[in-house]
Structure formats: structure tokens, C-alpha cells
Amino acid sequence: MLGSIFRLVSIDQNDRGIWIVRLTLCNNSDPDLQAVFDYMKDQYGNGETTILSLGLVLAQMGKNDEAEKYYRSLLKEINPTDYEDISACYHNLGNLFDDKGDYQLSLDWHHKALESMIKIFRSDDSIIATSFNSIAAIHSKMNNYDEALDCYLKALKIWKQALGEEHPTIGQCLNALHNNIGAIHLSLDHLDHALEHLNMSLNIKKKCLPSQHPDIAMTFTNIGLIYESKTEWQQAVSYLEKAVNIYRHVLHPNHPILIEVEQLLARVSSKSKMT
């Protein structure tokens, strides 16, 4: 049905190498999910399926090994001069290894993506900024904070040059910048600075995203972790509960992100009861 939204149930490859995708039609009359349906249709409903789509679906299912296998197969088939699809494969592989916790390999793939992008895009194209943002995020996870901040600022400069100060996407860029700088401050144990930037990020997200969007859940999770570090248990529990409630609406019950945040909530709730 055109424009319908489906929940992914499973993706498997049979013995003939054919991918079998099982889907369940979601009920778009669910008031809790209506805003998410509308947002997803607006963002993706009119877009065409590309050769990268299956890899993205696999990754969203948490099937990173299968997604990696698919992207590596694609790289053998794509025309070597098709830098746009090649850079997209590199970028997505970088994201996969980020999810796996192999940050050095993730960084290597993201650098390869940037090198390919530079061959076909202007230096001030917004896609270059996206690549710098991804590289910065990995540097942050590797505790390379100076490199991370440098790349974040390069990304923001390009976004402003490419889109202009008043473009709505700049709000999204500022959101990303505040979120990521907040994460760096959290890693450095600068808790109040981290909380300040994450609250700025949350305020931007609430203005431009539906209330049940997973990006809002991610920020709730990070704020909850800050309050845990500050031993403000009730606040920590409150934000983690908000995150879990959103993830339960939009993710598969066995999705690793949902499982991880549920475990965080259980841990913090236990600490809260001990005080």
C-alpha cells in the first residue's frame, strides 16, 4: 500500500542467496505513533528505493553483520567511477563499525568516504559537512577531543556557507553540534557544561521533531546519564523512563538500543532505591 509504514519483523538470507524481508503493517490510527508516521512519510514517503536501501534496513534492524556483508558485496559491483554510491557505502560501513565499537575501523571508512566525496562535491557542499561530523563523532569516542571539536567546527562552518544562517537545516546542525559537544564535556566529566549543551539540543529537537522520535529518546538517555553521574537519581530515572517509553513505541522489542537503555534504567532505578 503506497505510503504505508511497516514494522520490520525479520530479515534473513536463504540458501540461494535471496534476502527474505518479513514486515508487519503498522496501525497508523495509533495516536502515540501518528506524529512519527507523519514525520516518516514527509521525510521518506516520496523517496525512491536505491541499491543502498537493503543495507540501511538491515542496519536499522540491528543486523550489522548482514549489512556489512551486503555493503562489501555492493562495493565489488559498483562502477569504480561511481564515487557517489561508493562514498555512501564507505560512510554506511563507517556507521556499522561505529555501532560495533570498532572505532579505528569506523574512522578509516569515514575517511575513505570523505576522500570519495571530495572528488565529486564542492568543498562547501553540505554532504562534506556531514562527513566531518561523522569523523568528529568517532574521534570523540576515541577520546581524541581536540580532533573532534576541530571537525565539528569545520562541519558547522560548511553548513552555514552552504545553506545560510536562516536555513531550517541550520537548526538541525546546531542541534547536532550541541549534542556532540555535550557528549565531549560528559566524557571530560564537565557535567554542568554537558547538561547545558544537551538541553540546548533537546529544545531544538522538540521544535522540529515529533514527540516520539528516537532522536529525542537518545537525548533523554544522555541527560539521564548525566544526572546519574551527578547522583541525582530521581532526575536520572525520569529521563531514562522517557527514553524507554519512546524506544518501545518505535523500535523492535529485541533492538539492541532498546535493550541497552532498559538495562540502564534498571541499573539507575536500583541505585535510586538504595539512597
Tell me the torsion sign for CA atoms 151, 157, 162, 167.
positive
Q: Is residue 17 part of a domain?
A: yes
Question: Per-residue confidence at 51, pLDDT binned at 50, 70, 90?
Answer: low
End residue of a domain, out of 11, 32, 48: 48
Q: Is residue 142 part of a domain?
A: no
pLDDT tens digits, one per residue of 148-198? 988 988 988 888 788 776 666 677 777 777 888 887 788 778 899 899 989
Question: Per-residue confidence at 140, pLDDT binned at 50, 70, 90?
Answer: confident
The answer to whether 99 and 92 are in contact (CB under 8 A) is no
- Integer Cα distance of 110 and 108 in angstroms: 6
Q: What is the CB-side half-sphere exposure of residue 248 using CA atoms within 13 A? A: 9
End residue of a domain, out of 16, 31, 48: 48
The answer to whether 93 and 71 are in contact (CB under 8 A) is yes
pTM above 0.85, yes or no: no
Between 1-5, 29-33, 71-75, 218-222, the lowest mean confidence (pLDDT) is in 1-5
The DSSP secondary structure of 227-238, one letter per residue, reads HHHTT-HHHHHH
**What CATH code is carried by the domain that includes residue 247?**
1.25.40
- Number of residues that make up the chain: 275
Look up residue 261 and give its three cell numbers: 537503555
End residue of a domain, out of 48, 63, 79: 48
Question: Per-residue confidence at 45, pLDDT binned at 50, 70, 90?
Answer: very low
The DSSP secondary structure of 180-244, one letter per residue, reads HHHHHHHHTT-HHHHHHHHHHHHHHHHHHS-TT-HHHHHHHHHHHHHHHHTT-HHHHHHHHHHHH
Residue 6, beta-bridge partner list: 25
Domains in the chain: how many in total? 2
The DSSP secondary structure of 145-158, one letter per residue, reads HHHHHHHHHHHHHH
- Integer Cα distance of 28 and 32 in angstroms: 9
Q: Is residue 36 part of a domain?
A: yes
Which range, 28-32, 43-47, 92-96, 153-157, is most confident?
Answer: 92-96
The DSSP secondary structure of 26-74, one letter per residue, reads --TT-HHHHHHHHHHHHHHTTPPP-TTHHHHHHHHTT-HHHHHHHHHHH
Q: Is residue 200 part of a domain?
A: no
Query: What is the domain extent for residue 14?
Result: 1-48
Kindly tell me the burial class for residue 129, based on how many C-beta atoms sit within 10 Å of its own C-beta (0-12, 13-18, 19 or more).
buried
Q: Is residue 43 part of a domain?
A: yes
Q: Is residue 254 part of a domain?
A: yes
Q: What is the mean pLDDT of the chain?
A: 83
Q: Is residue 227 part of a domain?
A: yes
Amino acid at 145: Y
Tell me if residue 1 falls in helix, strand or coil.
coil
Q: Is residue 54 part of a domain?
A: no
